[in-house]
Every structure is written in structure tokens, then in C-alpha cells.
Structure 1
Amino acid sequence: MNHDRRMQLQALLGALPAVALAGLLLARASGPWTVRLLLLAAVAASAWFAARGIRGRVQRPLQTLSNLLAAMREGDYSFRAREPALADALGSVYHELNTLSELLQQQRMKAMEATALLRTVMAEIDVAVFAFDGDGLLRLVNRAGAVLLGSAQERLLGRPASELGLGDALEGEASVLADMAFPGRAGRFELRRGTFRQGGRAHRLLVLSDLTRPLREEERRVWHRVIRVLGHEINNSLAPIQSLSESLLRILERQDEDWMEDARQGLGIIASRAQGLGRFMEGYTRLARLPEPRLARVDLEPLARRVAGLEQRRPVAVVPGPPVTLLADGDQIAQALINLVRNAVDAGEGPVEVRWSQGAGTVEIRVEDRGQGLPSGGNLFVPFFTTKSGGSGIGLVLSRQIAEAHGGSLVLANREDGPGARAILRLPLDPMPPAAAGEP
């Protein structure tokens, strides 16, 4: 027996004592028996119809709730129940269901908008994205990935990674650079791998970024800078050499009384310019041939005191900090600090201080001066740019290369507490080996 019939039967059972009592009273009453039977039938019929009404009162709200829940199960959140004017238990249930349906409708709208945005981004970016299931079958690919594989997206879905030429790309480190060839393109790619779960199953994500064009653009800009610097320096040396050579030829042709002294002076200038050009090329070679750091345990305080003691023009104060032991190339770090201390001493007549502090896995070494501060412009790390007479313009560049080779950084800034500048050398206490740093 279903719920509706049970409710009706319970209502009839509840009315049965009243009907039985009415029958007993009518049996003892006087009058025609037909009239008494009609009255008893009327009482029984009233009980029956009352039970039917109770059944309907229970059945209709439950059907409404069932329809609402069925619509929500099917993903249709537009149905709403009519809430009663007076607050009661049933009205509270209707109100909560309506609120839940409206909330689910808003969440589905947001999810659909987010999905549409994700699909648009996936379609427009020039990075190839592939998603494979646990069996190695392709389940998702964007337009850039389809172009890379030279086929339509519909034809690629469901095919194994080995058949698409991506089997090896799914294995290995999370991020790596590799030269690869595909039907749609060949070049140098950055491979990024990851995992995610969908439907309770593990999937693998593969992202391929074509670095050929950015690397070529960066290479072109580097060559432009190199050629500009080389051309400027070589022209500065060749122009006076050419002029002096022509003057010496004319002196030798005339052979005046003092031609020997003029020739000696001209040849001296030519030799000086040639030596300057040689020093320039030597500095460029030092920048291009910085060796890989040879890591070893280095105590920072003795290293800083040794560097400060090398400067003889002015005292350099070493402000003791926490004891720090670096895993670094001591000679290279010392060279970087020597360059920074030398620049600080050249900045002015004020005191120069070397101090350090330790953070989460890093140490920050600061070289501070009280000079004129940093010049305006962003040329401080341009090779061979210098604001000092007789400067080479490679000290800061070399120091930054040393810092980056150790996985750190070098920053220059003006001091906030007064005049002067501050060089901040940040180094990791335990740097990554060069092969794991992922440098191209």
C-alpha cells in the first residue's frame, strides 16, 4: 500500500469510532429504520469524503515537491513552488527549495560563463594544450594544439599519445626545454606537464609553448645591442687612429725639423687607442666566458671582511649580522662584492658599509654608501656604460651575472634614510644546480 492510501486508511480508522458511535445511537433511537440507515450512511459517507480530502491534502504538496526535485535533478532550475501566505512547516520547505533552486541556477550560470571564458581563452591562445586520460587517450585539445599536429580537433580526440607523437612528451620532468618537430611546426618548445582529476579519474595535462620566435626576437635584440656597443667602441678607436695615420703620412712626406717628435707622439696615441680597444675586447670576453659556479661551503662574514680589507682608498665597515654559510663559488661572490664595494667608494666621500640579513632560505647582502645616489635612467646594467672617468662599465654587469648564476639577483636603489645608494645582492643559501635551473 502506497503512502497516499495509508494516509486515507489512517483517516478512516480515525473516523471509525465516531461512525460506530453514531450507528449505536441510531440503533437505540426511535423512528423508521430506513431513516436511521440513511443517517448512518450519511455519517459513513462524510467520513469517507473527509478521508479522501485528507489524502489529497497530503498528496498534492508531495507531488509539488517531487516535481521540483525532479526538475532540479534534470538540471532545470526555473521551476518555483507557490509559497503559502501564512508561514508554516510546509511553507518553510517550499521557501528553502525555491532558495536552493535559485542558488543552483546562479551557480550554473557562473559555471557556464566560466566555461565559455575558458573555451574562448583556450581557442585564442597560441599555446598548445592537450589533456590525456589514464589510458593515454587524448580527451581535450585546443585550436593551437590541433594546428601543431596538423589535423582537425575532432579527428584527434580519442587517439593515443604515442600515435600523435606525444608519448615521450608525457614522461619526464614537470618543465623542460626541448627541440621537437610536429606536422604543423618544428622548433624549440617549452614542455609543461601536470595532472588533474575529472570524473574521479586521473588525467594528465601537457602544455607546449613554441619558443622559437621569442628566442629569435631576443637573439636579434641581443645582437643589435652587441653590434651597437662594439660599433661605438671600435669607431671611437678607429677614427683617431685613421686621422693620426694620415697625419703621420703627411709628416713623413714633409720631414720637417720636428717630424720625429710629431711621429713619436702620433704613434703613442695610436698605441694607446689600440690598447684601449684591446682592454675593451678583453672585458667583453670576460662577460661572455663567465664560468659556471664551483659550489662549496663559504662563511659570509670572513668573506665580507676580506673584501673590505682589499679596499685601501677608504675604510669599509662590516656590520656583523647572523652567522651565514653559503653554498656558493667563493671566488665569484668575492669578485661581485669587490665590484660593489669599489662602486660605493667611488660614489663619494661618505662611509661605506657592508651588512647582511638572513630570510627564508636566502641571504641579503647590502653595500651602502653616502654618495650622490644613482643617476637617472636604466643604463646601469648596460655593458660598458659608465658614469666614472676611466671606468670599464662591466663591474655591475659581471656582478649581476654572478648573482644570477647562483640563482640570486642584484638590485640597485637609492637610500630612503638619506643620500646615497644601496646595492642589494640576494643569494639562496642552497642554490639549484645549473642543470635544474632551467636556463635556456
Structure 2
Amino acid sequence: MTIFKNKTLEGYILKIVTIFCMLFLVVTGLLLEQLQWNSWDIALTLVFQAFALTIFSFKFRKRITAGFDRALLHIEAVKMEDYNQYAKSDFDEGNSNELHLALKALSQHLQQQKSRYDQHAFLLYQLIDQLNTPMLVFNKKQKLTYANAAFSILYNQPWQMYRLASPKLLGLIETDSGWSIPRKGQQWQISQSKFIDSGEEHFLLVFTNIDSALRASQLNAWQQIIRVMGHEIRNSLTPVSSLAESLSTQMISPREQSALALISDRCLHLQDFINRYSSLSQQLDLHYQSIELSSFVERLKALNPELEVTTQVKESKLWGDTTFLEQVFINLLKNAKEAGATKVKFTIVRVKNKCKIELEDNGHGFANTDNLFVPLFTTKPQGQGIGLTFCRNIIEQHKGTIDLENNADLANKNSQTGVTISITLPLTS
């Protein structure tokens, strides 16, 4: 019978006890027969003894295996990360007691490790929440379980609105080269890593906006060009300007004097041109102060009486450099007028801990919006290609962002013309 095979402890105990009981009953039967008991009494005695031995066998087997059953329950609790369940041995000494003591020590050790891990995980989640880089956590079923506050940068809503959403619902695309997310006007690099939390595998997606890095590289290249050009042009203009001024004092003919004056004037114009472009490479000295947005907009309206300016101000104050920010909006309103705009709408709202300012005009818009923030690029016949670049430089040094889009390119404004400029600035420094 398979029950007597020694593959299990229970089988081994049952085998040994059965052999012992059988031998005991045989010996008992022989002794009673030698004492000349009658067959009925011997049979009745052996039946009672067999019954007693059976009860003893089960109790003995239960006593031996009970410690192992409790140990198994202890191990199962450990697997479920319940380290407060301890199994106690029936014996105060010996191997059984040592086994249960070892399991208890293992539980305490794992409890300490889990406590340290939970502390590290808590600190990690706190760190993630403080970062301005969007970070998303998905469980093994690819359901969103956590994200930091920067999630709103991607989706303009708190991450709780997308709890348990799949990557597909969030617009994430997984390819052989990794994850990607299509975003017009933004380029995101997504890195993935895996970690274990509460015994379950999760994966973390970290989003890095590489637009700023690309722009910094691009701006650095333009700054190098401007510095080299400025150096060479200044070295050439200085002697030309001096020579023209010197010759103009020696010339009698009005025509010759006029020609030399023109040369001198153009030299000064070129020097001014180079000085203006060299400002792109300078770090601004910002003087932060509280800006009353209603008064801020009213000043802009007073400077542009030819424009019909409407406002929708839902945020009262902003923290920034008044002079530089005013110059930004003066430039933007000047661009709107040059684009034929007669109406401009200001919308100022609060989005999380940031102030969002939208400037919408009814001009003819831009024929090409791809390179508007590139230095020296302009769509105006007499433009110099510095205005929008200078505006973005000021906004980004305020740790903000600026985006520009033709209204005809917006899905919900197909019938309108003009441009919408969106500027996002921190409410505090």
C-alpha cells in the first residue's frame, strides 16, 4: 500500500506504529493463550487493545505532525508578509523547538527588512512627488497606481482622474526601442525601470522633456555664432566708422559729406544690431516682486489704445520681474498689431501652483510656426528675428514656458484666425 511508503513523515510514522501495534497484539495474544484464556476472552481483549492502540497511534501521529503543521502556517504567513504570526512548539527543547525559534527569528528579521524597505519606499514616493518631471507607476497588470504632481504637465489633470488607466488609454505607445508619447510641440524621452512593492512587480516610467535640452544646445550654437560675428564685425566697423568721421571733416562737397555721414550712420546701426543680438547670450538679473495682475493688464491696455483688449483675470497676483515681463507682453502685443489684429483677449487662470496666461488675437497668424523662436529667423520683411527669442529667454529664466499656435491649427477653433500664445509661470520663485 502507498500509505506505508516512506515518502512522507506521516507514512513513516504510520508504518512504524502499525508494525509496533501488530507485534504488541500478537505478543499479547500468545501470552493470553499461554495463560489458557478461552478464545472469546482473548478476542475481546485484543479488540479493546486494538481500539486503544488505534487512538494512541492517531494521537501520537498528531503530536508529531502538529509542530510541522504550525510551522507550515507560519511559513504561509511569512509568504503573505504577515510577520506577527508565530508558531509555538509543543516541546520546550530539542529539534522541534529549535525549528520554531528559527522561524520566529526569520520572521523578525524579515519584519525589520520590510520596515526599512517601507521607509525607503515612502521616502522614494515623497521624492518622486517633489520632482517636476512626470513619473508614472504601473502594476504588473499595466494599470496606473501612482503618479506625481507633475502628471498634470502631460494631461492637465490630477493623476487620480486616471487611476487604474492603461498605458494605451494614456496615449503611451510601447515599441521595441521603448515607450513614446506623441505630443505636438514637445519631445519626451521615456525611461523605464522595474521595482517590487508589497510583493508585486511594478514598473516606473520617467518622462524627460528634451525640448529644453535641444533648445539650450541650439541657443548655445547661435550664441557662439553671434559672438564670433560680433567680434569680427566690431573689429571691422570701428576703423570704418572712424575713417568716415575723419574724412567728413575734410570734405567740402555736401554730397560727399552726406555719403560719409551715411556710412557712419550705418556703422552705428550695425553696432547697435550686434549689441542687441549679443543680449541673447546674457543671463538676466531678475528682480522678483509681487505683481498685481489686474494693474499689470491695465497698463498694457493703456500702452495699446488702438487694440480692443478684453480680459478674464481669475488669478490676482504673480511673482516675477515686472520690467522684463512687461517687455514680453509689449513685444507680443506689438507682433499682434503688426499681424493686423484689432482685438486681443487676455485670459489669466491658476493651474495647480502655476499661473497660465493666454493671449489671443484676431490677426492673420503666422505662415510658419516651426522656427519662430530661432534667433535671426523672421517672417517679417523688416524683422530682425530677435523679439520672440528674447521673450522666450525672459519666460524661461522665470522658470516658465511659452507656446504659440495659430488659431486655425487648434481643433476647436477651425473657423477663427489669429494666434494664441500660452505662457505658464510659477506663482512663487
Give the TM-score normalised by the residue count of structure 1: 0.46
